[in-house]
A and B are shown apart, each in its own frame.
Chain A
């Protein structure tokens, strides 16, 4: 194992980053029926934006605020029980946006059945839910790690957007809920399955991105010290 840590890997880890531009769809909802209908119809990039936006825009908060739908249902419609149900959808279990969208729809539909009075709730125009999509820009940061030591040093200096890309977007790109780019590289190139397992098991949705950075650095550091 000692050998694999110090040896340069054949395939270096290339650090990418992802930035995004917010595009207004012009669609808005002022009640739960409208919200449900639009959630059914909009492109996946809109669902992705509203379930992941908080992670990048509120990285300082721990615990994170929930997804946009839960926040709006609670703070604007005042429907706390539904908000709690939407907030507790375990995003980490879904390896694609299609199944995440289905779970959100199912949760709202079941709630309406159980409590039809929610249909009477209506937001002011000023507090309507506006649907937004993200256009993602992916680019290489110019940083490359050939071994764990370099990997750790680079991890310390890259932006949260880069960490976001390799942890959150990777899950959807790789279509594996329990894998991210870091764990994949450590498993396949560094050949350290134990460290890879520890990193892949981190639930990114219950950490701030800065926490994730620190935790991964700590895990790599303790591996290097062994």
Chain B
């Protein structure tokens, strides 16, 4: 084999589609008529500037979605722009605390932290030009910019919450609520994140991009390359959980469920994900997972570096069953990714997962380790049923959780700001 051929056999980057997709590329998934509808809606927003503001230009879910969405909005004729607030290390330490506390995790916070938040907010209020007709503010970090709304009275302000706020810390929520109530509308990702608020609360789920590296179709050769890379043989059914090593994802519970299945079906388990380098807890979880796995050669624990998108894609596609046994979950986009790949999924009924899985229609919901094991056994023993669930799952994602639906919802959201009724004739 020549050196070039050898490289081709190991180089996964050949499957990466780094070029930005065009809106017509999505017609293959949702049909031309749906893309035409987006154009019709976008047309009604002519002349309006939509200014997105968040806290980071790269990294993190919000930036990831804006990077892909903004060029598509431009192509549709929407004048969407994107600005980023500034903040020092101290500010982002406080916003991380706020994030954790909104998620219901304990993290001490005090007046000093809120003061830091307000000091940086004051700088951003002074320095950021809020020129949009529609101001689309993402997450808590830039929330105080609402103080600028008086400068352009005709502007509309939306606060987009990407965080699970089903059980927020009361002190933090009350601090944020003072700002939220001044917005024209708020947006949440799942019904159980909604709060009692005097402003409209829209339900807009996040989405996956079928043309991103994490979701693009892969040839069998690429899948085999990834399995080979991690020394996984496809001689036994594969159960996989993709998620960072975090207590809330219950990786030890997944191992216990696997062991219950293993008594009856000879199978293997992949636990793949990253750890946050700044989070000592995740390294501790990883150690516990390794201890729990003991010497079982059929448990593959894969610590993936960030950007391992093709690898994750291939591991999901190689799986017979995908599991997501989270104790708490935001929306659960890893579930969406697996459903899109037509995989039978067993997942906990938490966060946004019940929105994605209707039990026994498009996957299996579970509440316990035993329940998860029972569902996995059922799926491994009934491949036809598993196939039907997988097929329903893909269709459910195609209709409800692709990037084009997300764009459609945002366009409707922007238009809704200019109407009062429940039925709007455009």
Q: Spell out A's residues near B (CB within 8 Å).
A: 17, 19-26, 28, 43, 45, 57-61, 65, 71, 75, 125-128, 130, 132-139, 141-142, 157-159, 161-162
Contacts and interface: CB of A to CB of B under 8 A. Distances in A.
A32 B215 CA distance: 41
Nearest to A129: B191
A136 B422 contact: yes
A5 B44 CA distance: 36
| Interface size class of chain B, counting residues whose CB lies under 8 Å from the partner chain | 35 or more
Residue among A24, A58, A136 with most chain B CB within 10 A? A24
B316 to A, nearest CB: 21
B96 interface: no
Given A58-B361, A137-B415, A159 B34 contact: yes
Interface of B: 31-34, 36-37, 40-41, 44, 166, 188, 191-192, 194-197, 200-204, 349-350, 354, 358-359, 361, 392, 395-396, 399-400, 408-409, 412-413, 415-416, 421-426
B406 to A, nearest CB: 12
A136 B392 contact: no
A137 B201 contact: no
Given A59-B399, A65-B358, A138-B425, A126 B32 contact: no
Contact of A60 (B33, B41, B399): B399
Nearest to B205: A22
Contacts of A162: 33
A159 B37 CA distance: 9
B127 to A, nearest CB: 33
Given A141-B36, A159-B37, A128 B358 contact: no
B32 A157 contact: yes
6 contacts: A20-B412, A60-B392, A125-B192, A126-B350, A139-B426, A158-B33
Nearest to B422: A45
A222 B360 CA distance: 38
Given A57-B400, A58-B358, A60-B392, A126 B349 contact: yes
A24 B424 contact: no
A137 B44 CA distance: 12
Given A21-B412, A58-B396, 10 more contacts: A24-B194, A24-B201, A60-B392, A65-B358, A71-B358, A127-B354, A135-B416, A137-B412, A137-B415, A142-B40
A139 B40 contact: yes
